[in-house]
Amino acid sequence: MKRELMRYMRPAKIVALGTAILSLAGCVKRDLEMRPDEGYVEIALDWTKTGMTSRSARYLFYNEAGMLVREVSGITDCFKGTLPTGTYHLVVHNTDASQVDWQGCEKYESAEVFAQPTQYSADHHPADGVPCILEPRDVFAVGSCNESETVKVRQMDTTRLSVTPTELTKQVAIRFTVETDGGQSVRALHGVLAGVAPGYFPGKGCHNASSSCAVEFTASPATKAAADAYTTRMNVFGLLTTAQSPAGTNTVHVTLALDDGLQMMDTVDITPILKQILVSHGGTFPVEIPLEITLQVQGVGLSATVQPWDESGTGSGELTL
- pLDDT above 80 for 5: no
- pLDDT above 50 for 49: yes
Is 84 exposed, middle or buried, given 0-12, 13-18 or 19+ CB atoms closer than 10 A? middle
Name, in order, each residue with C-beta under 8 angstroms of 288's C-beta and a sequence gap of 6 or more: 170, 171, 173
What average pLDDT does range 274-286 have in this prediction?
A: 95
Judge if 38-167 and 170-320 fold alike in CATH terms. yes
Domain boundaries, the chain: 38-167, 170-320
Q: Which is more confidently placed, 225 or 103?
A: 103
Confidence of residue 35 (pLDDT cuts 50, 70, 90): confident
Of 115-129, 153-167, 237-251, the one with minimum mean pLDDT is 115-129
Q: Which is more confidently placed, 315 or 206?
A: 206
Of 84-98, 224-238, 273-287, the one with minimum mean pLDDT is 224-238
What average pLDDT does range 247-269 have in this prediction?
A: 90
Confidence of residue 3 (pLDDT cuts 50, 70, 90): very low
Q: Give me the amino acid identity at 128.
A: D
Of 55-64, 91-100, 128-137, 307-316, the one with minimum mean pLDDT is 307-316
Instruction: Look up the pTM and report it.
Output: 0.84
What fold does the segment set 38-167 form as a domain?
A: Immunoglobulin-like (2.60.40)
Confidence of residue 223 (pLDDT cuts 50, 70, 90): low
pLDDT of residue 122: 65
- pLDDT above 70 for 28: no
- Name which CATH class applies to 170-320: mainly beta
- pLDDT above 50 for 313: no
